[in-house]
Amino acid sequence: MTLALDASSTCFHLARQLPDIPLTIFTNSLPICQTLARRPRCTLITSGGWLEHKTRSYRNPALISLLKSLEIDLFIFSCEGVDARGVMWDPGEHDATYKALLLRKVSQSLLLIDKRKFNRTSEVMIGYLQQVT
């Protein structure tokens, strides 16, 4: 199985709980890479590019091309907020773009949020809650 994880702290905590079993993980998160590098049975694929130190996530303008070569079974992500219309928001353009691209590519997605994220907006739209399977 191939999972895609975003660079959120929520996905980082999920990655820490993943067992060392044969899984392929695609991510743009440096902390997730560092965590999963300790699991020899997991195959780790990063989005590559340059590291944004503030968010500890990679930025890659060639992400669209890279995603064409990957078969991802499940995209797991979080967001800054979901407004009353069901729009998902994030504060940064690069992370929102990463999430929007993956959300359109995969057939299965899982949004991890808690009740504090509802009725909140941020700077950049990711997509609509109805896109999440």
CATH number (3.40.50, 1.20.120, 1.10.3470, 3.10.620) of 2-131 reads: 3.40.50
- 83 is written with which tokens? 């407004």
- Predicted confidence (pLDDT) per residue in 77-133, tens digit: 999 999 999 999 999 888 899 999 999 999 999 999 999 999 999 999 999 999 999
pTM of the model: 0.92
Element of type H or E holding 99: helix 93-105
Could you state, in order of their start, the residue ranges of all structural domains in the chain? 2-131
Tokens of 94: 């690069």
Residue 76, token pair as written in the block: 């797991």
Q: In whole angstroms, give the CA distance from residue 93 to residue 98.
A: 9
pLDDT tens, residue by residue, 20-60: 999 999 999 999 999 999 999 999 999 989 998 988 999 88
